[in-house]
Amino acid sequence: MSMAVRPADGIAWVTGASTGIGREVAVALARAGWRVAATARSAETLAELARAQPGIVAVPVDITDRAALRAVVDRLEREEGGIALAILNAGTYVRDRAEDLDEAAFARTIDLNLMATVACVAALMPGWLARRRGQLAIVSSVAGYRGLPGALSYGASKAALINFSESLRFDFDRLGLKVQVINPGFVRTPLTDKNDFPMPFIIEADDAARRILQGLARDRFEIAFPGRFVQILKRLRCLPYGLYFALVGRQTGARRGQDPS
């Protein structure tokens, strides 16, 4: 894997930076000496963040607007000395089940979590190919390891992001670029605050940001935390389907005839 980039190499770009993990990562990067372009839809929230933390530049944009996204990346490349580090964190979570499956809502989750992330990478590639230097971190989730109750669209999008990152690794190694995938467990954010079920091993967003920055400086492809929870889920990933469905169904109340909500 290529070496990690440094603040002298250019600006850091963080999407989904208005709240939660993205906000805390942007703050941590700025405190570590990076000039940070913080992106989200809320211009007001980003402006408050930039006022509160020196080193952060507010760059409001809806990354599902492909033309606006391209314009933002082009401007950062032109005016900020190029994007050296990109942490693609923007995403959403909607709890969904078969009995209330909504195709349009499913497509919105896929578009933001997956396709907008792909669009960000596509926008970054010309500059990175020209410089043969760049570091990409894609925020997925441990929910992408295997199917889970109530996570039809979210789990599918996160599984796709893991696979996308794995495939990118082969090309990035050849091109002299660095890619990592970030798979957090439960992190206390406005999205997880909506959950009405137990969230084992939940950590705070600033703790997640600290772990992410540590991982960015290392050579490991996957940045996953908290460790105990990740190991449990990775063991579950190795189980045959019969055991997996029985065990997870029992633990979550999603067995036949039960309401998992």
Q: What are the pLDDT digits (tens) for 166-181?
A: 999 999 999 999 999 9
Residue 148 lies in a domain: yes
Annotated active-site residue 244? The verdict is: no
Per-residue confidence band for 258, with pLDDT thresholds at 50, 70 and 90? very low
Q: Which of 93, 145, 154, 244 is catalytic?
A: 154
- 186 pLDDT tier (thresholds 50, 70, 90): confident
Q: What pLDDT score does 103 carry?
A: 97
Q: Is 128 helix (H, G, I), strand (E, B) or coil?
A: helix
Is 1 contained in some domain? Answer: no
Would you say 223 and 180 are in contact if contact means Cβ atoms under 8 Å apart? yes
CA distances from 221 to 19, 94, 157 (A): 25, 28, 19
Residue 24 placed within a domain: yes
The pLDDT of 95-122, averaged and rounded, is 97
Do the Cβ atoms of 74 and 48 come closer than 8 Å? no
User: What pLDDT, in 10s, does the model give residues 140-176?
Assistant: 999 999 999 999 999 999 999 999 999 999 999 999 9
In a domain? residue 2: no
Who has greater pLDDT, 93 or 261? 93
139 vs 215: CA distance, rounded Å: 12
Strands 203-204, 187-188: pairing is parallel
Q: 86: which strand partners?
A: 13, 136
Task: Please report whether residue 260 resides in a domain.
Answer: no
**Per-residue pLDDT tens over the stretch 77-107:** 999 999 999 999 999 999 999 999 999 999 9
* Domain carrying residue 109: 7-252
The domain that holds 169 is classified in CATH as 3.40.50.720
Question: Distance (Å, rounded) from C-alpha 58 to C-alpha 61?
Answer: 10
CA 186 to CA 232: how far, in whole Å? 13
Query: What is this structure's pTM?
Result: 0.92
Evaluate whether 46 touches 38 at the Cβ level (below 8 Å).
Answer: yes
Name every residue whose Cβ is closer than 8 Å to that of residue 242 and which is 6 or more positions away in sequence. Answer: none
Exposure letters 247-257 (e unless 16+ CB within 10 A, then b): ebeeeeebeee
Distance, in Å, from the CA atom of 15 to the CA atom of 59, rounded to the nearest integer, reads 9
Number of domains in the chain: 1
Look at residue 135 and tell me if it is in a domain: yes
The per-residue pLDDT for range 15-63, each reduced to its tens digit, is: 999 999 999 999 999 999 999 999 999 999 999 999 999 999 999 999 9
More confident residue, 258 or 95: 95
Is 261 part of any domain?
A: no
Residue 257 counted as domain residue: no
Better-scored residue on pLDDT, 168 or 202? 168
The DSSP code for 5 is P
Question: What is the rounded distance in angstroms from the CA atom of residue 135 to the CA atom of residue 75?
Answer: 19
